[in-house]
Amino acid sequence: MTVQQPTRRGAAARTAPGRGRRVSAGEARFALALLIPAAVVVFGVVLYPVVRTLVVSFFDVDSPLPGSYPFVGFRNYARVFHDPRFYPVLGHTLYFTLVSTALELVLGVVMALILNAPLRLRWFWRSVAVMPWALPTIVNGALWRLMDNGQYGVLNAVTTSLGLGAHQWLGSPFLALNMVIVADVWKNTSIVAFFLLAGLQTIPSDLYEAARVDGAGAVRAFFRITVPMLVPSIAVVLILRTIEAFKVFDIIYVMTGGGPASGTQTVAFYTYLQAFSNQLFGYGAALSYLVVLAILALALGYLRILRQGALAGVQ
Amino acid sequence: MDEQVVPAQGLTRRGFLHATGGLGLTAVLAACGANGGSSGGKGSGKGPIRALFMKQAGYSEDDIAKMTAEFQKANPDIKVTTDFVAYEALHDKIVAAAPAHTYDVVLIDVIWPAEFGLRHIVADVSSRWPASWKSEMLPGAIATTEYKNVFYGVPWILDTKYLFFNDDHLTRAGVDPAQLDTWDGVITAAKAIKKSGVTQYPLVWSWQQAEALICDYAQLLGAFGGSFVDSSGKPAFHNGGGVQALEFMRQSIVDGLTNPGSTQSLEEDVRKIFSSGQASAALNWTYMYGLADDPKQSQVAGHVKVLQTPAGPAGRPGVNGSMGLAVSAQSQNQDAAWKYVSYLTSQPVQNKFALSSLPVWKTSYDDPAVVKTNPAVVPQAKKQLADMILRPQVKNYNAISQVLQAELQNGLLGKKSPQQALNDAADQAGSLLNS
């Protein structure tokens, strides 16, 4: 869906002159009628939970059932910062977000360049490259859990045959966190690559021709033409991937269950544990609001950078 | 696409905002208000009911389908729908489904009656309990669904962890099975098996960061004379037997006797590793016998033997890993739900499916038909089920268990000394027990 964004923006720009055109009342009513179902869905499944969660975060709600719970103001929020288990969890989340996003970006650029190159059977390579992203995260997690299994996993078969010995890939906290990152990178690099591929295809080839005429080599052309022209795509991908990585939950749930020794618990996973396993819904709601605030801050930061890039005439 | 964009911007903005703003406001107001939930009702004793079970251990999906079909035949006016989830997802599913009244019957673990009962997720069924059940059921079973003299369900899966071993491995390593009677003996036997090269790692356990870890730990804690909480309700697992149990577990990893994959394994992983002949001995629930001894699913069929849990310096209590069937407090059809629960827990039904899970009824253990269904486990169960250790019966058990799981793993992985890990767990659990 988001892949179409550039196209949609293009369409809006094309129709901009029609902005002031008045439409007939009947047409408008019809448009409104068409929009109502979507509006009901959006407000029902987005706005209601958003507000409800905010309300719950101010109460000491310790059951899923409706009832009257004591009002505690900001105490649930304060509790987060006094929770000794929260800081390691935050550390895992930041590490996961930083490393997985960085890896996905670097590998994504490489993959996009390869897919953009005039290869034979290019359609075939492109279909293969999109496969990991097409897998549901749950399947991806289960797949990697099996491959990383210390007893019968294929990864150990490979390392043993290479003389590197067998390892418990998910057996120690830090290694397990890195293995989850590997699984996440394997899946999401393809979507990053496709974003960047779309960006690459908008770069006019005469720019490269001109560079060649001026005597620039491939490396120089990459850093002076490709990278600056790709900045808007990179920014979009960075925003999306950072947000996704920050709220990572499903792959952790499937691959490690937060273990070993809580070494792979992330903020989203911890929030889930508090809310559903421990039935501390007020505390869980406060935690999830803090996640939202963190993501909002990240997104605003990125958007700022993107705007500065646009002002600099990159777009 | 262009046509859609133009009218939306023409009317638009203001009218659209008014309309949707109204909707939004309604949503916000609804979110702020306390939405009144309806409580459950007895219902007519007929109609549809929905039940939630777990996928692994205890009765299989197949068993439950057969039981339900029989029940439907006898009660054509009740229509039962069954759902199955992994044990690891069962608790959270019950919690998440409670406000929506999705389930009428839910399977609950022995550690949940306090939490679910006090939060009105499952119904108090004390008044429906016939007085005779209290004398006809085993005491360990009765404790499963009881909290502070209130019954929140009916015991159904009566289980504890037994020691399963592969007699072929023992013979090949020249080990006498009688050695497996104590934990010291198990270690000696495991060393001999490892030395003989029959298996690299003779022992495998379910020590993943999950409730399964607490079950194995509870059994060892009991054997070493420890307890979870003292008489005043404060954590006590960081003293004496509790520490010795973790030291024992850690040492078995250091000595290379325990499969290092144990810290990422649940009961099903243990079953698979044991069934593939890669382990010589393992603790597991009753259900492992039927599957590990089935040639279709196991490479060690015919070599599976079952013993009571080995004794430690303080005895051999088995962890109470029983489960019960509860009626949801939110169910609108509690009478029909109760009929279904009474049928599934009745003695004839339980006797019939004794291979998967042993009955909660005392007299079943002397019934030749039951002994014949599961001749390996019943004799051991008769001895073991009288001696069980309960995990703490407290409202926020899950939070305490999570803390303990993480610290036990720190001890198992050598990140902390056993004493340090348990001290840290006791610190955190102490404040949770008070809250």
Cα–Cα dist B99/B39, whole Å = 10
pLDDT confidence bin for B8, thresholds 50/70/90: very low
ipTM for this model: 0.84
Q: In this prediction, what percent of chain B has a pLDDT beyond 90?
A: 79
- Residue B1 pLDDT: 36
- Phi (first) and psi of residue A59, to 5 degrees: -120, 155
CATH of domain B47-159+321-389: 3.40.190.10
Name the residue of chain B whose CA is nearest to A262's CA.
B406
| Residue type (1 letter), A313 | G
Task: Round the CA-based radius of gyration of chain A to a whole number and report it.
Answer: 24
Contacts of B434 (CB under 8 A, 6+ apart): none
Provide CB contacts within 8 A for B204, sequence distance 6+. Answer: B258, B259, B261, B262, B265, B269, B270, B273, B274, B278, B279, B282
Cα end-to-end distance, chain B, whole Å: 58
Supply the pLDDT for residue A21. Answer: 60
* Whether pLDDT at A11 is above 70: no
pLDDT, average across residues B115-126 = 94
Is pLDDT of B240 > 70?
yes
Tokens read off for A92: 């895992």
Contact B59, B356 (CB under 8 A): yes
- Reported as a pLDDT band with limits 50, 70 and 90, residue B33 is low
Q: Hey, which residues 197-216 in chain A have their CB within 8 Å of chain B?
A: none
What pLDDT is stored for residue B28 in this prediction?
57
Question: Which candidate in B122, B203, B209 is best for mutational testing of the A interface (most A CBs within 10 A)?
Answer: B209
| Conformation bin of residue B235: beta by default, left when phi > 0, alpha when psi is -120 to 50 | beta
Q: Is A70 on the interface with B (CB under 8 A)?
A: no
Q: Which residues 6+ apart lie within 8 Å of B348 measured at CB? A: none
Q: What is the pLDDT of residue B284?
A: 96
- Per-residue pLDDT averaged across B189-194, rounded? 97
CA A119 to chain CA mean position, Å: 30
As a whole number, mean pLDDT of residues A70-90 equals: 93
pLDDT digits (tens, 9 = 90+) for B68-106: 999 999 999 999 999 999 998 999 999 999 999 999 999
Distances (CA, A) of A14 to A11, A23, B335: 5, 18, 65
Contact partners, residue A24, CB within 8 Å, separation at least 6 = none
For residue B113, give the amino acid letter: P
Write down the pLDDT at residue A118.
Answer: 86
Inspect the interface and report whether the beta carbons of B31 and A11 lie closer than 8 Å.
Answer: no
Q: Which residue, among B152, B253, B140, has the nearest Cα to B207 in the 3D structure? A: B253
Report CA B7 to chain centroid distance, whole Å.
59
Q: Which structure tokens are listed for B419? A: 């004493």
Confirm if B399 and B435 have CB atoms less than 8 A apart.
no
Distance of alpha carbon A291 from alpha carbon B301, whole angstroms? 51
The whole-chain average pLDDT of chain A stands at 87
A230-239, B158-167, B285-294, B323-332: lowest mean pLDDT where?
A230-239
What SS3 class is residue B391? coil
pLDDT of residue A315: 44
Q: In this predicted model, what pLDDT tens digit does every residue of A111-155 receive, in sequence order?
A: 999 999 888 888 899 999 989 999 999 999 999 999 998 888 899
Q: Which residues of chain A neighbour B115 with C-beta distances below 8 Å?
A: 279
Query: Which pLDDT belongs to residue A18?
Result: 47
Q: What's residue B278's pLDDT? A: 94
Tokens of B273: 């590793």
| Of A36-40, B41-45, B111-115, B395-399, the least confident | B41-45
Decide if pLDDT at B54 tops 60. Answer: yes
Dig out the tokens for B108 from the structure. Answer: 């609950």
pLDDT given for residue B18 in this prediction: 66
- C-alpha distance from residue B261 to each of A173, A188, A263, B364 (Å): 13, 28, 16, 38
What is the layout of strands, in order, in the sheet containing B105-109? B78-85, B47-54, B105-109, B323-327, B154-157
**pLDDT at B27 > cutoff 60:** no
Q: Residue B65 and residue B46: Cα distance in Å, rounded?
A: 20
* pLDDT above 80 (res B431): yes
Asked if residues B47 and B340 have their Cβ atoms less than 8 Å apart, the reply is: no
pLDDT of residue B43: 83
- The whole-angstrom separation of Cα B43 and Cα B336 is 7
Select from B326, B331, B343 the least CA-distant residue to B44.
B331
pLDDT (0 to 100) of residue B15: 60
* pLDDT score at A5: 43
Residue A198 C-beta-side C-alpha neighbours within 13 Å? 16
Nearest-CA distance from B276 to chain A in Å?
Answer: 11
Instruction: Give the rounded percent of residues in chain A with a pLDDT score beyond 70.
Output: 90
Chain B residue with Cα closest to A172: B413
Identify the CA nearest to B114 among candidates B233, B237, B245: B233
Kindly determine whether residue B15 and residue A32, on different chains, have CB atoms separated by under 8 Å: yes
- pLDDT higher at B47 or A310: B47
Q: Is the pLDDT assigned to residue A312 strictly greater than 60?
A: no
Residue B6 has a pLDDT of 39
Give residue-wise pLDDT tens across range A204-263.
989 888 988 988 888 888 888 888 888 888 888 888 899 899 999 999 999 999 989 999
With b for 16 or more beta-carbon neighbours within 10 A and e for fewer, the A95-115 pattern comes to: ebbebbbebbbebbbebbeeb
The C-alpha atoms of residue B284 and residue B274 are separated, in whole angstroms, by: 10
Cα A279 to Cα B408: distance, rounded to the nearest angstrom: 23
At a CB cut-off of 8 Å and minimum separation 6, what does A71 contact?
A58, A59, A60
Euclidean distance between CA atoms A48 and A253, whole angstroms: 26
Pairing type for strands B162-166 and B281-284 reads: antiparallel
Q: What is the mean pLDDT of residues B369-387?
A: 90
Q: Please tell me which residue of chain A has the smallest CA distance to B409.
A: A261
Strand pairing class (B78-85; B47-54): parallel
pLDDT value of residue B180:
97
> What would the DSSP string read from start to end of B82-109?
EEEE-HHHHHHHHHHHGGGT--SEEEEE
Looking at chain B, the domain(s) classified CATH 3.40.190.10 span: 47-159+321-389, 162-319+396-434
Q: Which pLDDT score, from 0 to 100, does residue A150 have? A: 85
How far is it, in rounded angstroms, from Cα B316 to Cα B429? 26
Alpha-carbon torsion angle B221, B224, B227, B228, nearest 10: -20
Average pLDDT, chain B: 90
Per-residue CA distances from B399 to A155, B211, B218 (Å): 35, 11, 17
Distances (CA, A) of A301 to A39, A75, A146, A292, A307: 29, 28, 38, 14, 10
Q: A residues 236-275 near B, CB within 8 Å?
A: 256-262, 273
B38 pLDDT more than 80 = no
Q: Which fold has domain A58-311?
A: MetI-like fold (1.10.3720)
pLDDT of residue B17: 58
pLDDT at B324: 96
Confidence of residue A7 (pLDDT cuts 50, 70, 90): very low
- Residue B210 pLDDT > 60, yes or no? yes
Instruction: Report pLDDT for B316.
Output: 94
Here the tokens at position B219 are 């059994």
Phi-psi region of A185 (alpha: psi -120 to 50; beta: other; left: phi over 0): alpha
**Helix-then-strand count for chain B, H and E:** 19, 13
Domain boundaries, chain A: 28-55, 58-311
Kindly state the helix (H) or strand (E) to which residue B113 belongs, with its residue range: helix B113-118
Is residue B268 scored above 70 in pLDDT? Answer: yes
Task: Write the pLDDT tens digit of every residue in B129-157.
Answer: 999 999 999 988 999 999 999 999 999 99
A277-304 burial, b for 16+ CB within 10 Å, e for fewer? bbbbbbbbbbbbbbbeebbeebeeebee
CATH topology of domain B162-319+396-434: D-Maltodextrin-Binding Protein; domain 2 (3.40.190)
The per-residue pLDDT for B347 is: 96
- Cα–Cα–Cα angle for B175, B178, B179, nearest 5°? 60
Give, in degrees to the nearest 5, the angle at Cα A133 between A127 and A138.
140
Of A21, A168, A258, the CB nearest to B260: A168
Say which of A35, A52, A260 has its CB closest to residue B209.
Answer: A260
pLDDT at residue B10 is higher than 80: no
φ/ψ of residue B283, rounded to 5: -85, 140
Taking a contact as any Cβ pair under 8 Å apart, which residues of chain A between 21 and 40 contact chain B? 21-23, 27-28, 30-32, 35-36, 39-40
Contacts of A66 in chain B (CB under 8 A): 34-37, 99
Is there a contact between A66 and B101 (Cβ–Cβ < 8 Å)?
no
CA distance B93 to chain A (A): 9
Q: Does A151 sit within 8 Å of B30, measured CB to CB? A: no
Residue A6 in this model has a pLDDT that exceeds 50: no
Which DSSP state fits B48? E
Cβ atoms within 10 Å, residue A164: 10
Indicate whether A302 pLDDT > 90: no
Over residues A306-310, mean pLDDT: 67
Is residue A8 pLDDT above 50, yes or no? no
- CB B347, CB B361: distance < 8 Å: yes
User: Residue B30: what pLDDT?
Assistant: 59
Q: Treating both helix axes as pointing N-terminal to C-terminal, what angle do B13-32 and A25-42 enclose, rounded to 10 degrees?
A: 30
Helical ranges in A43-172 per DSSP H: 48-57, 75-82, 86-116, 122-134, 137-147, 154-161
